[in-house]
Copies of this chain bind each other. A is one copy, B any other.
């Protein structure tokens, strides 16, 4: 077993399996994780196998069925859940759209959405509200930066007719972690029909969701949508959705295809598949599934989910402390380091205001130096992500580089 003392030593060996990381300093894990060489090979091998044995053949179709089963099982295990609760999707956004369009909306129903959600999800909610005559309100989770209690913020915004609450488990802009079980408890206590949908883009693959107290069934969450291509370092185009078994039947499939239905002996539809597959639609790039499993297995070879999360938090603390010590840098989180790999900060002027143009210019300049960061729009900031794969030396070097930028500008 590798030493878990947060030294770079063991991770350096592990990182050799990621050629992608060899030529750069990478801090965009929250956008997309790098794929290991093994996962890339799995993609190629799957395509070759399909072409060699088929592409359309009985043996290939049986293999793809098995691939789907194994992938739903591997994902379920990582979430502490049962395979039947998992739907394979193209991405996290489709995973959010499934419950958004699948709930049996009544005119006047209330949707509560946090003010730190991704624009794609916000736009979907706006369109659903238009179509079904719903009421949408926003609660200020952005106030968490000023010390607000997220459970209280949400509780105060609930209404008797709140049908759905939409939040992220980890806020993609600030890196803050919401107390999921407490929030779900408050929402479920609000009214019998209140459900909770979580955008888990930043939490799956970073939080130890297979550990006690973290497992999804323990939190009571109704819908949990995620992707494999960020913190799991899987291929782009493969994600999923967890649905609590008790709300499966009230959630109707919307986009529908042959993968989600049962048919009679004449090939005519007779109903839905009994489990999460009912929300899957039709032909996908099935080779992505095996590559995602390879990605998950490789991470587990370095350490279990708790060990990886511990290293993520240690590295983000190191980055946060270093950035915070710089006079012209303001971290979005001011009192404690992020309980996640996302460290967002601003390059500020003498009036404590973000220097937006400098932030954009800095991200562009650093990319030419093969240092990968991104800007965010709300609030205007730079986001640097660290994963368990990151190196202490990378973190220290980034702090140094940001120091140079602020001193020269």
Interface residue A123 (Cβ < 8 Å from any Cβ of B):
yes
Residue among A34, A236, A283, A364 facing the most chain B CB atoms (10 A cut-off): A283
For A40, what are the chain B residues with a Cβ–Cβ distance below 8 Å?
Answer: 44, 47-48, 51
For A124, what are the chain B residues with a Cβ–Cβ distance below 8 Å?
Answer: 255-257
| Contact between chains at A283 and B23 (CB < 8 Å) | no
Q: Which residue of B lies closest to A52 (CB)?
A: B20
A32 to chain B minimum Cβ distance, whole angstroms, is 4
Contact of A91 among B91, B252, B281 (CB under 8 A): B281
- A229–B50 CA distance with the chains assembled, in angstroms: 12
Could you tell me which residues of chain A, from 147 to 169, have a CB within 8 Å of some CB in chain B?
Answer: none
Write out, one digit per residue, whether chain A residues 69-108 have a CB within 8 A of any chain B CB (1) or not (0).
0000000000000000000001111100100010000000
| Contact between chains at B54 and A252 (CB < 8 Å) | no
Interface residue A374 (Cβ < 8 Å from any Cβ of B):
yes
| Contact between chains at B261 and A229 (CB < 8 Å) | no
Could you tell me which residues of chain A, from 187 to 235, have a CB within 8 Å of some CB in chain B?
Answer: 227, 229, 235
Contact of A119 among B93, B263, B285 (CB under 8 A): B263
| Contact between chains at B255 and A255 (CB < 8 Å) | yes
| Contact between chains at A236 and B120 (CB < 8 Å) | no
| Contact between chains at A284 and B47 (CB < 8 Å) | no
| Contact between chains at A252 and B127 (CB < 8 Å) | yes
- A33–B35 CA distance with the chains assembled, in angstroms: 28
Are A94 and B51 CB-contacts (below 8 A) given A229-B283, A266-B377? Answer: no
| Contact between chains at A47 and B35 (CB < 8 Å) | yes
Q: Which residue of B lies closest to A372 (CB)?
A: B57
Are A372 and B54 CB-contacts (below 8 A) given A119-B263, A252-B127, A256-B120? Answer: yes
For A32, what are the chain B residues with a Cβ–Cβ distance below 8 Å?
Answer: 54-56, 283
For A245, what are the chain B residues with a Cβ–Cβ distance below 8 Å?
Answer: none
- A52–B40 CA distance with the chains assembled, in angstroms: 12
Interface residue A68 (Cβ < 8 Å from any Cβ of B):
no
For A239, what are the chain B residues with a Cβ–Cβ distance below 8 Å?
Answer: 283
Interface residue A288 (Cβ < 8 Å from any Cβ of B):
yes
Interface residue A332 (Cβ < 8 Å from any Cβ of B):
no
| Contact between chains at A59 and B97 (CB < 8 Å) | no
- A175–B397 CA distance with the chains assembled, in angstroms: 64
Residue among A43, A267, A367, A377 facing the most chain B CB atoms (10 A cut-off): A267
| Contact between chains at B266 and A97 (CB < 8 Å) | no
- A47–B259 CA distance with the chains assembled, in angstroms: 27
| Contact between chains at A236 and B35 (CB < 8 Å) | no
| Contact between chains at B94 and A282 (CB < 8 Å) | yes
Write out, one digit per residue, whether chain A residues 363-375 have a CB within 8 A of any chain B CB (1) or not (0).
1100100001010
| Contact between chains at B28 and A378 (CB < 8 Å) | no
Return 22 A-B CB contacts under 8 Å, by A number: A32-B56, A35-B51, A40-B44, A40-B48, A90-B281, A90-B282, A93-B257, A94-B257, A97-B281, A119-B258, A119-B268, A120-B256, A120-B282, A121-B257, A123-B256, A123-B260, A127-B253, A127-B256, A237-B237, A237-B283, A237-B286, A266-B378
* With A91-B283, A120-B282 already in contact, 19 other A-B pairs whose C-beta atoms are closer than 8 Å: A28-B56, A31-B55, A31-B56, A44-B44, A58-B363, A90-B90, A91-B284, A94-B255, A94-B257, A94-B282, A118-B258, A119-B269, A120-B281, A123-B260, A127-B252, A127-B254, A235-B285, A236-B284, A263-B377
For the complex of A and B, the 7 pairs showing the least CB-CB separation, nearest first, are A31-B56, A237-B285, A267-B377, A93-B257, A93-B282, A120-B257, A28-B56
